[in-house]
Amino acid sequence: MAYQPPVRDHVFLLEDVLKIDQYAELPSFADASLDVVKAIIEEAGKFTGEVLAPLNSVGDKQGCTWHPDNTVTTPAGFKEAYRQLCEGGWTGLGSDPTYGGQGLPHVVNLSFSEMSSSANMAFSMYPGLAHGAYSAIHTGGTDEQKQTYLPKMVTGEWTGTMNLTEPHCGTDLGLLRTKAVPQADGTYRITGQKIWISAGEHDMADNIIHLVLARIEGAPAGVKGISLFIVPKYFPTADGGVGARNEGAKCAGLEEKMGIHGNATCVMAYDDAVGYLIGEENAGLRIMFVMMNEARIGVGLQGVAQAEAAYQAAAEFAKDRLQGRSLTGPKNADGPADPIIVHPDVRRMLLDSKAIIEAGRAFLFWTALQGDLAHGHPDEAVRQKGNDYMGLLTPVLKGYLTDKGFKVCVDAMQVHGGSGFTEHFPASQYLRDCRIALIYEGTNGVQALDLVGRKLAANGGRAVMSFFAEIDAYVEAHGSDAQMKPFTDGLAGVKAQLQEATMWLMQNGLANPDNAGAASTDYMHLFGITGLAFMWAQIAEACIARAKAGDADPFYANKLVVGRYFVERIIPEGTSHLAKLKTGSATLMQLPAEAF
Amino acid sequence: MAYQPPVRDHVFLLEDVLKIDQYAELPSFADASLDVVKAIIEEAGKFTGEVLAPLNSVGDKQGCTWHPDNTVTTPAGFKEAYRQLCEGGWTGLGSDPTYGGQGLPHVVNLSFSEMSSSANMAFSMYPGLAHGAYSAIHTGGTDEQKQTYLPKMVTGEWTGTMNLTEPHCGTDLGLLRTKAVPQADGTYRITGQKIWISAGEHDMADNIIHLVLARIEGAPAGVKGISLFIVPKYFPTADGGVGARNEGAKCAGLEEKMGIHGNATCVMAYDDAVGYLIGEENAGLRIMFVMMNEARIGVGLQGVAQAEAAYQAAAEFAKDRLQGRSLTGPKNADGPADPIIVHPDVRRMLLDSKAIIEAGRAFLFWTALQGDLAHGHPDEAVRQKGNDYMGLLTPVLKGYLTDKGFKVCVDAMQVHGGSGFTEHFPASQYLRDCRIALIYEGTNGVQALDLVGRKLAANGGRAVMSFFAEIDAYVEAHGSDAQMKPFTDGLAGVKAQLQEATMWLMQNGLANPDNAGAASTDYMHLFGITGLAFMWAQIAEACIARAKAGDADPFYANKLVVGRYFVERIIPEGTSHLAKLKTGSATLMQLPAEAF
């Protein structure tokens, strides 16, 4: 059975956990009543399940093909699916209505994005990158630039890319060498090589709008001398069509990689390509980080999305595969053996997965909603908190959820046994595709460092203190309910560990930054566990409320079991993260480099 | 830089930690003085590094090719490398001198096997499987069978295979259907399909000796009706050559899989193939388990071997790649950036890896030495303990070391950043190749169940009690030494947790076997950590002894740093494993199958 979009889980989150109907007065929710949102999610499930999912394996096996004329052909079926994506209006779901978008809340867009990524991660990256480029132009572009590019990007007729990495520089953008030479007409000529450019060239859209980081001749060294340019593949014409080819912007080849074969990962050669400055000179990174932060949440989502698809395949296999007998006596006595789901250790892997996926999704949606509140809520305090949370939690969502999402994919293969290692089953592709999510848009180590080095301390620690206070208030409000107690106790316990770790960082990270670096990944994981514990408490609350209201659907009771599993079997990981991070950096830094 | 065989680490283990010169009086060590062993390891390093390693990527990219005449071609260079392997006598290193082997200790053979697997896992599986088949015939064959097959397998002229899995049955061999029909001449005719047969067909040897599990017509159902057969590809002739083709034994195709592309993973179609019973009727599993146990230790070794090679690539990359600056100020001020090894979080991944690899290797060698003692020691008590340990620790070595070896490969890719995801760097292959080690020869979940369900309780728990007593005595003997104290304290702490977990299992696993199953993987990991903590203590002891003897080589001081890292950053994982496993099976088993 192929991937089944988890429509009901999405609706449950929006309706019961996030209760989005309470935000009807916000602009982005004005046209997004619960009924409308439900209908959209239903349709998203159909489109992603029926159109995108069947192409996932095709994309993996065929990959993309580069031609000597610098064009790239996408796998069979991708072009037609992309046409349907555009026709369905999916590319503009969350985009600004001024440019033809539907202006729906971020959280609704996220629901579609998750299903799209589960169904076909490589495919979904084409519109994903385009949306990032859209956001950068929307944030930093002039009115003319917005009018020129955004409507076409909203319809999906044009896609976009992010060009950061060069062969000698990835994380450290200060080293980048691509140069921009100002021309008399106000344009620039861009020359340099960019690598790992997802969706850099393909055959699905009429035009590709490259956003390219480059250094204007004479600019300061390092990150203070980096500007951002729009480098279209074809020059836009006055009537909104495409004109001449920007000859200097070419795809010089494709990268051979472990996964996401259906996405064209391009080497882009810029040779005197025409570019248009976006935003101020030397201030390109600021705009690029608009894309980057959006992309990071999107990557966290990919972690959950691949995990969901891989989990589904594993659960299906575990219910079908007959092998051995239950340790407590046959459960399928008439059959030759029991389905392997009778085995506690198989269930351990599946429940680990389910407990991460369901709360990971909730954490993503919950944070995205904070983004919606940050943009549109009338109360300044709510907007500020929304912004604070988006900043604080973005690295946690990206780092923790991709680390754990990958673990789910590894476990999903394990549930399959030998079958999982063969390419006849989907487990290998999910594992291989998911692996990139731990790396791109800033490796997970970079996320962890962003969290401890930048986000924690921002505004005097306001964001994290607000997060702790919100959890405290939640525990206070619900901890006396007997049904809620296991969840609030678990939450309070791991939150106390996170707070202890935060104190440790304040005391030791400032004195010696290596202590912060040494603690960063364990801290990020401890934060992730705490976030998911908070989500499980809220999910439990919603399920208990349904039951109290007389809804006997086992959907709710089953969620409570998964939540208890999280409390029993995942929260204990917090203890070892805390113990590890408190050992500091001395031993880590002691070994001389040549001894590695 | 390609894989560098860690010759010095191997020699250090054998000389300083295991002190193999104390066993000179044992038969297998008679011709294995320390000097001889050192020379062998040096040569092993050269052969594997110079001949096998350069073919690793070739094997991955080319894979094997199946032809319609049922033959299989191995990747370019494999055949010639195999010729050199045989000429060098490497195939018979640990084999019985009666059949032309060199009769060296298991532990020496393991040293070669690790390097061979690091250099080229897919290649090393051909002689690896052959050695497993050798062992089965050596254990269960008649004198005539031994004389017919073993000399050719020792020289490597003939290879061998293990045929267990069928499409509907892997772990649960009781379901197997391949049938054997007795013939008037005492032979059998074998019919059935076997899948995932590593090295099932290839072009490197003159003959392939398949060991095939099948059910003799009329045999009891389940595992009590399974017999083992020798099914040669070509019939041996009286003069030791190969005669007619055994027409009914054919490779029907190759499996497409995520990794180990250089190894031919075959679908074997047996259609009235001639087979010779080995051992008693219906007692085939017992002999197969001789191969299986040997293979399981070999797979644990593959985990460490892939980890070593992946770690080396990552460490090299981390020392070369200039990106960003140290958190405590530039360390390469004259360069454009610092090498990324200055970052604590990069070091965390590399030290996690090193701490696992070095003690994992020690644990493998230490256990292999127990096997050598079990076979040749004059003292019955030592032999019994050796046998007990081999039984108890085999699932731990297989399960824990492949889980952790795979983690090392995942981290090695992470250290590479985006480069790691491309196929230009070796990280992807190591990760993909290593992944199978968690699955084959019994998934790691099966290992964990073997440990808690069978091995712990065997002989009234004699093996585990003896292991605990040995650790207690070690801590007692060394705990008062100030330099040893961090290591013995760490060891004593995690051993106490393992003992508590063992008690919990005794109290709860018997009452409800699902509790044992639910605890099994966490228990196996806790056992693995304890084993490695014991190894680190012994490695530290050896390093401290060298220093006390005036040897100022930083090799020893650096090992102590890595050992302290293990104590600080890996031992704390024991706490969460213990907490998790003590939660039992209730929540795990509560979710109905349809809710997954």
Instruction: Give the residue from B8, B347, B424, B446 with the most A CB atoms within 10 Å of its CB, the best one to mutate.
Output: B347
CB A414 to CB B165 under 8 A?
no
- Given a cut of 80, whether residue B1 has pLDDT beyond it is no
CB A593 to CB B341 under 8 A?
yes
Q: What is the pLDDT of residue B291?
A: 80
A296-322: pLDDT as tens digits:
999 999 999 999 999 999 999 999 999
Indicate the burial class of B404 (C-beta count within 10 angstroms; 0-12, 13-18, 19 or more). buried
CB B417 to CB A439 under 8 A?
yes
- Given a cut of 90, whether residue B91 has pLDDT beyond it is yes
CB B426, CB A395: distance < 8 Å: no
Residues of B labelled catalytic: 441
Q: What is the pLDDT of residue B296?
A: 96
Give the pLDDT band of residue A291 (cuts 50, 70, 90).
confident
Q: Is A431 on the interface with B (CB under 8 A)?
A: yes
The whole-angstrom distance between residue B501's C-alpha and the CA centroid of its chain comes to: 26
A114-147: pLDDT as tens digits:
999 999 999 999 999 999 999 999 999 999 999 9
Map residue A220 onto helix, strand or coil. coil
Q: Is B259 on the interface with A (CB under 8 A)?
A: yes
Q: Which two tokens stand for residue B80?
A: 């010639």
Q: What is the pLDDT of residue B529?
A: 98
Q: Which of residues 438-457 of A touch B (CB under 8 A)?
A: 438-440, 443-445, 448-449, 453
The whole-angstrom distance between residue B557's C-alpha and the CA centroid of its chain comes to: 29
Sort out which chain B residues have CB atoms less than 8 A from A436's CB and list them: 421
- Given a cut of 90, whether residue A27 has pLDDT beyond it is no
CB A51, CB A120: distance < 8 Å: no
As a whole number, mean pLDDT of residues B53-76 equals 98
CB A573, CB A593: distance < 8 Å: no
Q: Which of residues 170-209 of A touch B (CB under 8 A)?
A: 170-172, 175, 195-196
A496-547: pLDDT as tens digits:
999 999 999 999 998 999 999 999 999 999 999 999 999 999 999 999 999 9
CB B585 to CB A517 under 8 A?
no
Which amino acid belongs to residue B249?
A: A
Sort out which chain A residues have CB atoms less than 8 A from B350's CB and list them: 596
As a whole number, mean pLDDT of residues A355-364 equals 98
Q: Which two tokens stand for residue B486?
A: 């961090």
User: What does the alpha-carbon distance between residue B338 and residue B315 come to, in Å, rounded to a whole number?
Assistant: 14
Q: Which of A565, A574, A488 is nearest to A526 (CA)?
A: A574
Q: Please indicate, yes or no, if residue B449 is contained in any of the structural domains.
A: yes
Map residue B588 onto helix, strand or coil. helix
Candidates B327, B515, B596; nearest CB to A315: B596
CB B585 to CB A514 under 8 A?
no
CB A591 to CB B345 under 8 A?
no
Instruction: Give the residue from B162, B258, B299, B594 with the most A CB atoms within 10 Å of its CB, the best one to mutate.
Output: B258
Give the pLDDT band of residue A161 (cuts 50, 70, 90).
very high
As a whole number, mean pLDDT of residues A81-86 equals 98
Residue A473 CB neighbour total at 10 angstroms: 10
**Element at B278 (helix H, strand E):** strand B265-278
Q: Please indicate, yes or no, if residue B491 is contained in any of the structural domains.
A: yes
Q: Is B332 on the interface with A (CB under 8 A)?
A: no
CB B112, CB B37: distance < 8 Å: no
User: What does the alpha-carbon distance between residue A285 and residue A425 come to, in Å, rounded to a whole number?
Assistant: 42
**What average pLDDT does chain A have?**
97
Quote the pTM value: 0.98
Map residue A274 onto helix, strand or coil. strand
Pairing mode of beta strands B242-245, B234-236: antiparallel
CA distances from A4 to A46, A175, A312, A587, B227 (A): 9, 44, 8, 48, 43
Question: For chain A, what is the domain count?
Answer: 1
Map residue B191 onto helix, strand or coil. strand
Residue A227, beta-bridge partner list? A214
User: What does the alpha-carbon distance between residue A499 and residue B227 come to, in Å, rounded to a whole number?
Assistant: 61
Map residue B476 onto helix, strand or coil. helix
User: What does the alpha-carbon distance between residue A493 and residue A530 come to, in Å, rounded to a whole number?
Assistant: 9
CB A345 to CB B558 under 8 A?
no
Q: Please indicate, yes or no, if residue A510 is contained in any of the structural domains.
A: yes
CA nearest to A61 within chain B: B256
Pairing mode of beta strands A234-236, A242-245: antiparallel
As a whole number, mean pLDDT of residues B259-266 equals 98
Q: Is A436 on the interface with B (CB under 8 A)?
A: yes
User: What does the alpha-carbon distance between residue B431 and residue A410 come to, in Å, rounded to a whole number?
Assistant: 11
CB B445 to CB A345 under 8 A?
yes
Q: Is B428 on the interface with A (CB under 8 A)?
A: yes
Q: Is B317 on the interface with A (CB under 8 A)?
A: no
User: What does the alpha-carbon distance between residue B518 and residue B582 come to, in Å, rounded to a whole number?
Assistant: 9
CB B589 to CB A344 under 8 A?
yes
Give the pLDDT band of residue A1 (cuts 50, 70, 90).
low
Give the pLDDT band of residue B290 (cuts 50, 70, 90).
confident
Q: What are phi and psi of B105, to 5 degrees?
A: -60, 150
Candidates A169, A443, A587; nearest CB to B561: A587
**Element at A403 (helix H, strand E):** helix A380-416
Given the cut 0.90, state whether the ipTM is greater than it: yes
A&B contacts, CB < 8 Å: 260
Candidates B420, B580, B585; nearest CB to A344: B585
CB B209, CB B159: distance < 8 Å: yes
User: What does the alpha-carbon distance between residue A167 and residue A485 come to, in Å, rounded to a whole number?
Assistant: 53
Candidates A169, A259, A576; nearest CB to B576: A576
Residues with Cβ within 8 Å of B330's Cβ and at least 6 positions away in sequence, in order, are B338
Q: Is A510 on the interface with B (CB under 8 A)?
A: no
Distance between the two ends of chain A, CA-based, in angstroms? 46
B388-399: pLDDT as tens digits:
999 999 999 999
Candidates A439, A585, A593; nearest CB to B414: A439
Q: Is B339 on the interface with A (CB under 8 A)?
A: yes
Which amino acid belongs to residue A217?
A: E
User: What does the alpha-carbon distance between residue A215 and residue A213 come to, in Å, rounded to a whole number?
Assistant: 7
Q: Which of residues 13-42 of B touch A (CB under 8 A)?
A: none
CB B418 to CB A196 under 8 A?
yes
- Given a cut of 80, whether residue B201 has pLDDT beyond it is yes
CB A328 to CB B513 under 8 A?
yes
As a whole number, mean pLDDT of residues B568-583 equals 98
Instruction: Give the residue from A195, A348, A428 with the most B CB atoms within 10 Å of its CB, the best one to mutate.
Output: A348
CA dihedral in degrees (B289, B291, B295, B297; nearest 10)?
70
User: What does the alpha-carbon distance between residue A94 and residue A107 come to, in Å, rounded to a whole number?
Assistant: 9
User: What does the alpha-carbon distance between residue A346 and residue A344 come to, in Å, rounded to a whole number?
Assistant: 5
Q: Which of B458, B348, B132 is nearest to A589 (CA)?
A: B348
Candidates B345, B354, B580; nearest CB to A521: B345
Strand residues in A52-205 grouped as ranges (E): 65-66, 72-73, 158-163, 179-182, 188-198
Q: Please indicate, yes or no, if residue A530 is contained in any of the structural domains.
A: yes
Residues with Cβ within 8 Å of B14's Cβ and at least 6 positions away in sequence, in order, are B20, B34, B37, B41, B107, B108, B111, B365
As a whole number, mean pLDDT of residues B583-595 equals 98
CA distances from A375 to A294, A371, A372 (A): 14, 6, 5
Domain containing residue B540: 444-584
CB A338, CB A355: distance < 8 Å: no
Candidates A196, A327, A590; nearest CB to B513: A327
Pairing mode of beta strands A179-182, A207-216: parallel
Give the gap in angstroms from C-alpha A58 to the nearest C-alpha of chain B.
15
As a whole number, mean pLDDT of residues A332-341 equals 96
CB A180, CB A217: distance < 8 Å: yes
The whole-angstrom distance between residue B148's C-alpha and the CA centroid of its chain comes to: 28
Q: Which of A1, A2, A3, A12 is nearest to A359 (CA)?
A: A12
Find the range with the poorest average confidence among A290-304, A457-471, B544-558.
Answer: A290-304
Q: Is B435 on the interface with A (CB under 8 A)?
A: yes
CB B444 to CB A336 under 8 A?
no
**Element at B270 (helix H, strand E):** strand B265-278
CB A412, CB A316: distance < 8 Å: no
Q: Which two tokens stand for residue B484?
A: 């040893």
- Given a cut of 90, whether residue B294 has pLDDT beyond it is no
Q: Please indicate, yes or no, if residue A570 is contained in any of the structural domains.
A: yes
CB A255 to CB B596 under 8 A?
no
Q: How many residues does chain B have?
A: 596
- Given a cut of 80, whether residue A428 has pLDDT beyond it is yes
Q: Which two tokens stand for residue A420?
A: 């999982």
Q: Is B322 on the interface with A (CB under 8 A)?
A: yes
